[in-house]
Structure 1
């Protein structure tokens, strides 16, 4: 069985927690993370110490769209602020990805 190419939108408290959980399941390959934090590189480096670092997208609130366009993603996990979930979900679905939302959509 091939691994699930996974992208994460949102690397705050919940997003970091979900990344940590997914790292323990060999079926998931986290290939990209998008968040507006200017410290995203540091956060991801700490979470992926000794592992392959995913691509980082943090050039503004819509950089997740570039992430979706530049990568072949099977699953997008959305852990951004709630008011952004609807638009991000729609964009991920338009890109042909399965979507998991942190809270009900």
Structure 2
């Protein structure tokens, strides 16, 4: 099963931020579709959509929607953006109960 890692960051009243590693409680809206452990690792179980959020000392985070799919990779596109940049863009989706993951690579070339 594919996994997706989440991180939580606290935003304080003075505008500063700090990672909340191992301090938050993670929540999945449908544990029969995807479960999330205390380290923020979401594991897909079945096809569907879940909402993921975190809480810490009575404060709740924003919600992120995650779609679990059984889609498989059927094609790939590459393109040249312009004379100076080469961009390769592809989507990788692992078969059966997986999370889609997008990857982008960019290289700068000057003559």
Relative to the length of structure 2, the TM-score reads 0.24
Report which structure shows greater RCO (CA 8 Å, sep ≥6).
Answer: 1
Relative to the length of structure 1, the TM-score reads 0.24
Structure with greater helix share of residues: 1
- Rg larger for: 2
